[in-house]
Structure formats: structure tokens, C-alpha cells
Structure 1
């Protein structure tokens, strides 16, 4: 059995930022006692095709420290219980849901640039969760909440209808093999669920550097009755100024990748 790696103090009780060392936990001992749960909803019992794949990787001392210190205040385990977004953020501002934020750099930048908008960021990658919490804490922003678990359960079980002002899905797993296309997140069934939680006028913003997936996203969103393209020509949108150019995206552009943004609006039937 592989032993998970988590940070621990260096000899003498000192922490070296960014360092990860091996620590053996007792059976059943949580990885972060005051942090995110390993499987908050027991979601592995759901027989449903997943659009994500949990990844195990090293957690740095800074990320672990942020998880321990900040999770009780800024973290949310997706456990299937209803959540009051006003209570979660401590205000009645608009809430935008971001699914899959990687290491959180772009999310932290967007939160700092728009403090009046609350960002609920969902991912299953523990280092990324810790990194985003750390970035938000260092920037002094308090409009970010980090959700741990399955975004489908969050949308289906925990959020009220018309409670979201926007949805962002940036660089989701493209599942490039044809037999895995069914795992892609942007599908008609997902959009129908998301539409029930998005208020009329809310924006769905997707971005990908995988052109076949971009074309599929455009086709699926265009065909869905609850959404309309914000672009008059019915095509892709220029990258909005508020979406930062991430390191990952920059590396792709340097390799000649084409990045496509899609901006669609939630409509009420009869509005078209």
C-alpha cells in the first residue's frame, strides 16, 4: 500500500516552505484533521460516470497549513446537505460557481479584482485547495470559498434554484479518447441541471485549449434551450479581460495551442 505524503515539521520543529516529507498515518487517521474530508458525500457509491478523476500528489507545508487554518472558515465539504450561500459568504452578493480551478491562481486573481462577487470554487485536488486558500489569505480577499467534492452533488442536492449568478468551467479534462467522450462535463444533462441553479441572465463561461472539445461545447450549448450565445455570430468569444492568462494557458499558447472561450447566457423560455 502506498503511504500518502503530507508535510511535517523539520527536525527542531521548523517548517521549510514548499517542502513535502513522508509521514506515516495510523489506519483511519484523517489526512488533515481540520481540513477537507476524503470523501464527504460517500460519492463512490453513486453509479454514475464521472467527469473528474481524483489525483494524489504532494501537499506542501504552506498548503497544509492553509488547509488546517482556513478550512473551517472558507472550506465546504460537498456532503449533500443544503447550503445557504448568504450564510456561507456572510453577505448577499452574487455567487459565481467555478468547477475545476487547478492550483487556484486564476481564481485568486479574479476574486481580488472583483471583491463584490463571491466565488465558490470546486475541485477534488487537495494541493490546489490548499494553494487557493493560501493565495486568498495572502491577498486579503474574503470572497472565495473552496468546495471539496463532486460538483454534480453540489448542484443537485445543495444549492437552491436560481441561486447562482454565473458558472465557470476553465480547461476541464478533455477526455480526448473517443470512448471517454461520455465523461466530458459539458453535456446536455449537466447543462439542464446547471440551468435550474442559474438565475435568468447568468453567464456560463467555458474555456478550453482542446479544439475538438471546444467544438462539442459550442454545439451542445447552442442546442440547449436554456442558453443563448452572447456572440452575435454564434461562435466563440474573445477572452474576456477578467479571465487571467494562466501559466498553463501560456505554455499551451507557446506550443501553438488555440484557446477558445464560450460565453452563453441563461434565458427564460419566451425570451428569445
Structure 2
């Protein structure tokens, strides 16, 4: 898949976000600080993986790109709000995101909380006001709401908070014996299926819904997205111990420092890499029936597991 396609989709996302976000100048003057914080959180950075998945899934099944603009922007707005809140002192207490100060550092904690709240509501108004059939807009809202709440991202974050401080303090460099670890791995994968995977699955599903995908196709794409969500997190966990803060654009080494439950901590570095390859094979298998139509989805899957940041 040509990088130019991803660049075009990313540019469409950026343009839609720019239009949807309150203007830092030229629009309503107040609350200017909140407007600026929302833009700081959302524009000018990030991999845009979730919007790209919306476009890739929809395009694979024949949806027109303009129809995909609203769900692509909406899923990125929810992702941006989640990062703002995740970085707060009460959560991960991080000072760096996408190579820039986090919102609560650049502004203040109260503004960061409000910015996250406002980005979340903007996501749903973007779907509700989209130029699309009412039934489709309802399906999009239902999908994104389900992925964002207690049965999705928020629930996963709660499980992550509960697990913090109970992981290994040192990351082993060899696979940990499987005896007694299967239950721990199941809990870890359930947490990340909610925290990271739910929004990735929603992105793929919203693209497919725009193309009026049938139930078997939706199920197959959901299986692909479930494997991708876990693979994305395994790679994140590995990068936290293998990459620098400069490479990542965020603070490296925090998982170990906070004794978080991670794949390397549970399986060892080699075991985490092996799990990543298993998930890569799952992704390839689920897309095989779609043939060349799934090239963009396949390329995004490979990008997620081979990325260096």
C-alpha cells in the first residue's frame, strides 16, 4: 500500500479536526484557554492509526471517502481525550506526549480535565451532525459509545489502574515459564482488549458500517481488529523498554518504574516478541478472504507491529 494513500487519509483527518475544533482565533473568544488546550491535545501530531483504520476498512468495502470523514475524526477525538486524561497526575502522571508537554503541564490540571471532557462530547456531536443517513449515524454513535465506556476503554483503564504496582519490578530478558502464568496473561489481554483494543475495533467497524458490510464481514473485520489491538499494545510495551523518550515522544521506561502489568514483565522480552508474531499471523489470516481489497488494512497491521514509536 502506497504511503501516499495514508498521507491523504491523515490529511483528511487533520482537515476535519481543524474544522470541528473551536478556533484558537477568529471564532468565539472565550473560553480561549480551553479552546487552545483542545487544539494542543488533538492537532499536529500522532500516528492517526485509528482514523486510518476507518478509511482503510471503509475503502476496502467500497465506501466513499467523504462519508468516512466524520467517524475518522470522531474516533481520533475520543483517542485524544483519553490521552489527556491518561496523562493526568491521578492516572499516569506524565509530562510528555507526542514530543510536547502534556496538556496539564502546558496549561493546568483543571483545564486538561475540561479539555478531555469537551473533546469527548465533540466526538459524538461530530457523528450526530454528519452528512449521513440517520440509521448509520446511530450505528456509529452506538459503536463508539460502547468502545469508550465501562465495557471498553474506560473499563480497561480502571483495570490498568488496579494492576499498577503489582507487576514485576524488573523485565526478564528470557521467556518466563508458562506454569501458573496463563491466568495472568488472560487478565492482561482482557485489560488491553478493553483499554486499547476496543477503540481500534470501533474504528474498523465504523468504516465497515459506512460500506453497509454484512454480518460475516463485520465479524471477520472485528477478529482482525481484536488481534491488531492486542498487537499494538504488545509493541507499545516492548517500545517502553527498548526505545528512548526522544524516539517515542513520551516518557520511556514508565511501565517498569510504575511496576505495571505488561507483556514483557509477564512473558519476558522474547516471549512478548513471540506473542507479537502470533498476533501478526492472526491478522493476516482474518484478512486473507478479502484479497487485495484488504491491502491497506494489512499494511496498517504490519505498521503497528513494526513501528519504532
Q: What TM bracket, shorter-length normalisation?
A: 0.3 to 0.5
TM-score, normalised relative to structure 1 = 0.33
Higher relative contact order (CA 8 A, sep 6+): 2
